[in-house]
Amino acid sequence: MSFQFNCKQNHFKYYSKINGRADDQIFSNSHFEIDLPKNLNNWMLINNRYYFEYDYNQIILVYIPFKEEDKNEGVWQVVDLEEEKIFSYMYDYWSEMKYNDNRLNTLNLKRVNKIYTNGKYEIVLFNVKEKNFHRYLDIVKTIRVN
């Protein structure tokens, strides 16, 4: 893993030669790189989910499955993050950070919750201020997966 802190945005690159194993099956990591907004407050890796947190609990979650996961790649698109799915995406991080669960269950109407996905890879923009949404989205569209 590497982080480059540049003038206009940050650059995160994940590359690992360490793969997962369950019984006789080996799971190969997908390698990726992505630009991220400046002013990162915290980041964390939980399973195949990469969480990047900014002020006021604005979070970018990057989900990159193992190469063996059978999901079809399609055209990248922005879709709504359904309220009932927020918990499944955010709970592990929320718990690890010891945040109040009630805040996770209450949507802020002045915040944006969207998923940028191609069907296989997902980038969740959670609780992003409206004024930051388009800038954050344009930045994360730089994702490259190998």
Residue 102, domain member (yes or no): yes
Q: What is the pLDDT of residue 42?
A: 96
Average pLDDT over residues 95-120: 83
Which has the minimum average pLDDT: 7-11, 43-47, 108-112?
108-112
Quick check: is 24 in a domain?
no
Enter the pTM of the model: 0.89
Q: What share of the chain is helix, strand, coil (3-state, %, to 5)?
A: 25, 40, 40
Pairing status of strand 32-36 against strand 25-27: unpaired
Q: Which range (10-14, 102-106, 109-113) has the least confidence?
A: 102-106
pLDDT at 43 exceeding the cut of 70: yes
**Amino acid symbol at 78:** V
- Confidence bin at 4 (pLDDT 50/70/90): very high
pLDDT of 119 reads 92
> Chain-wide mean pLDDT for the chain?
89
Residue ranges making up the domain that contains 120: 39-145
- Per-residue pLDDT, averaged over 29-58, amounts to 93
- Give Cβ neighbours of residue 15 (< 8 Å, ≥ 6 apart): 1, 2, 31
Q: How many domains does the chain have?
A: 1
The answer as to whether 111 is a domain residue is: yes
Residue 82, burial from CB neighbour count under 10 angstroms (0-12, 13-18, 19+)? exposed
**Structural domain contains residue 2:** no
Starting at the earlier edge strand, list the strands of the sheet with 49-54. 42-46, 49-54, 58-63, 122-129, 111-117, 77-80
Residue 58 predicted with pLDDT over 90: yes
